[in-house]
């Protein structure tokens, strides 16, 4: 370069201007190349069919590739400026930074590929009947990202001149403190193993865990997310899965209806028998109920009513459908009691006063007692 400058008759000042110009051109070339790649990749994505592996791969690689071209122009400009003798000492540091940046871009690319691939996997898993793969997707996604970022971080530290072996040896001094601080994380990890091995619930199940009731939205290595019926999102640590009771309402094979029909005390025995028979007929004639076992019996003379005990099960376990079946059953019972001329009782109390005036008698005189 120096001999070429002498042949061209360039002075140190003019060579500096030349190097600055070339560096500026290199930087602009990187920006232009990045812009061209951005437009080309955007058009390519529009032509590719969505929800395919090719579309996911191009979408994942687009941003890292654009930034790689931009940074290539930047590093080219720095290389031109640092080739001058007065800045040659910085070439080693800039070279290490270049390698570290390359590793960072590769790690970013890998993380984006994992994200796009897992999103595609999740869409396909949502179309299957088994929800186990729906639970597996976030676990695999987060685990792969953590491993990739850790490996990339180690390589970046090595390229920056740090001794990873010495760093890990230094961390060994505080192993006990780290283990104590991470005991909750370890407990959550084993809790997630319980969920995946025993499978007490799956994504989409209606569960009740430690007083939290709702629908399971996501299960990962640390927590389980439950969407309550009030539409709030509650995060439950997986460590609770090993020490608390889990009620999975979605695993019910049938739903129970348990109630009492109270009739007034003026109901005659033959009317009570007819009422019991009518309710049994309602259940037996409706295919929405299980007919292998149900109970309808006159079982109690309560304080203000004669109670008929009803114990039966619906075939559906869906909450909305169950509520409709229950409503239809109650209305049918009311219609049957009305046809029999019977009245549904309500809480009443009859008071018999000793020495009270008989009906139709004149009111008694009140005696005034002096104070």
Q: What was the pLDDT predicted at 89?
A: 57
DSSP per-residue letters across 215-252: EEEEE-SSEEEEEETTS-EEEEEGGGGGTS-EEEGGG-
Check whether 9 has a pLDDT greater than 80. Answer: no
Q: Which two tokens stand for residue 125?
A: 């898993």
- My answer on whether 259 and 241 are in the same domain is no
Q: What was the pLDDT predicted at 85?
A: 55
369 band by pLDDT with thresholds 50, 70 and 90: very low
Quote helix, strand, coil % in the chain, to nearest 5. Answer: 60, 15, 25
- The reply to whether 30 falls in a domain is yes
Most confident of 49-53, 60-64, 232-236, 273-277: 273-277
- My answer on whether 246 and 261 are in the same domain is no
- My answer on whether 226 and 282 are in the same domain is no
Per residue in 246-267, pLDDT tens?
889 888 889 999 999 999 999 9
Q: Of 319, 318, 328, 252, whose CA–CA distance to 283 is shortest?
A: 328
Check whether 86 has a pLDDT greater than 80. Answer: no
Q: What was the pLDDT predicted at 44?
A: 84
- My answer on whether 111 and 151 are in the same domain is yes
Most confident of 62-66, 153-157, 200-204, 211-215: 211-215
234 band by pLDDT with thresholds 50, 70 and 90: very high
| Distance in angstroms (rounded) separating the CA atoms of residues 16 and 43 | 41
Read off the pTM. 0.49
CB-count burial class (<10 Å; 0-12, 13-18, 19+) for 194: middle
306-314 and 255-263 strand pairing: antiparallel
- My answer on whether 71 and 131 are in the same domain is yes
Q: What was the pLDDT predicted at 355?
A: 63
15 band by pLDDT with thresholds 50, 70 and 90: low
* 36-72 per-residue burial string, b: 16 or more CB within 10 A, e: under 16: ebbeebeeeeeeeeeeeeebbbbbbbbebbbbbbbbb
- The reply to whether 143 falls in a domain is yes
**Helices 164-171, 132-159: inter-axial angle, 10-degree rounding:** 120
Q: Which two tokens stand for residue 188?
A: 């959550």
SS3 of 1, please? coil
Q: Is 231 left (phi over 0), alpha (psi -120 to 50) or beta?
A: left
Q: What was the pLDDT predicted at 54?
A: 79
Please report, for the domain that includes residue 208, its CATH number. Answer: 2.30.30.60
360 band by pLDDT with thresholds 50, 70 and 90: low
Q: What was the pLDDT predicted at 357?
A: 59
Most confident of 12-16, 96-100, 352-356, 359-363: 96-100
- The reply to whether 357 falls in a domain is no
- The reply to whether 203 falls in a domain is yes
- Calculate what percentage of the chain has a pLDDT beyond 90: 27
Check whether 125 has a pLDDT greater than 50. Answer: yes
Domain of residue 220: give its range.
Answer: 182-251
Segment 136-144 mean pLDDT: 79
* 97-113 per-residue burial string, b: 16 or more CB within 10 A, e: under 16: ebebbbbbbebbbbbbb
Total domains in the chain come to 3
Check whether 231 has a pLDDT greater than 60. Answer: yes
Check whether 179 has a pLDDT greater than 80. Answer: no
- The reply to whether 351 falls in a domain is no
276 band by pLDDT with thresholds 50, 70 and 90: very high
Confirm if 163 and 171 have CB atoms less than 8 A apart: no
- My answer on whether 67 and 155 are in the same domain is yes
Phi/psi of residue 156, nearest 5 degrees: -65, -45
SS3 of 119, please? helix
End position of a domain, from candidates 102, 132, 163: 163
- My answer on whether 59 and 142 are in the same domain is yes
């Amino acid at each position: 370069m120096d001999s070429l400058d002498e042949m061209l008759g360039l002075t140190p000042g003019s060579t500096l201007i030349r190097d600055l110009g070339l560096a500026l051109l290199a930087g602009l070339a990187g920006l232009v190349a990045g812009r061209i790649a951005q437009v080309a990749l955007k058009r390519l994505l529009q032509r590719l069919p969505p929800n395919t592996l090719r579309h996911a791969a191009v979408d994942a690689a687009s941003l890292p590739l654009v930034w790689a071209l931009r940074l290539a122009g930047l590093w080219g400009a720095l290389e031109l400026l640092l080739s001058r003798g007065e800045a040659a000492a910085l070439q080693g540091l800039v070279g290490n930074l270049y390698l570290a940046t390359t590793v960072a871009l590769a790690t970013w690319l890998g993380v984006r590929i994992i994200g796009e691939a897992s999103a595609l996997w999740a869409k396909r898993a949502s179309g299957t009947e088994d929800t186990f793969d729906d639970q597996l997707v976030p676990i695999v996604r987060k685990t792969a990202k953590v491993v990739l970022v850790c490996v990339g971080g180690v390589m970046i530290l090595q390229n920056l001149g740090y001794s990873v072996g010495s760093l890990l040896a230094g961390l060994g001094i505080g192993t006990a403190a780290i283990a104590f601080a991470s005991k909750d994380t370890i407990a959550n990890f084993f809790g997630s193993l319980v969920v995946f091995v025993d499978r007490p619930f799956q994504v989409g199940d209606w569960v009740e865990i430690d007083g939290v009731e709702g629908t399971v939205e996501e299960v990962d290595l640390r927590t389980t997310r439950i969407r309550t019926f009030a539409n709030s999102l509650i995060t439950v640590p997986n460590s609770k899965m090993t020490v608390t009771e889990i009620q999975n309402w979605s695993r019910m094979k049938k739903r129970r209806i348990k109630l009492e029909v109270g009739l007034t005390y003026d109901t005659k025995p033959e009317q009570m028998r007819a009422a019991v028979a009518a309710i049994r007929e309602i259940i037996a004639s409706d295919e929405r109920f299980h007919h292998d076992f149900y109970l309808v019996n006159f079982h109690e003379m309560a304080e203000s009513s004669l109670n008929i005990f009803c114990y039966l099960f619906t075939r559906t376990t869906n909450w909305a459908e169950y509520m409709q079946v229950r409503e239809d059953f109650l209305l049918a019972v009311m219609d049957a009691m009305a046809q029999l001329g019977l009245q549904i009782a309500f809480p009443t109390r009859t008071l018999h006063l000793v020495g009270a005036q008989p009906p139709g008698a004149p009111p008694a005189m009140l005696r005034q007692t002096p104070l």
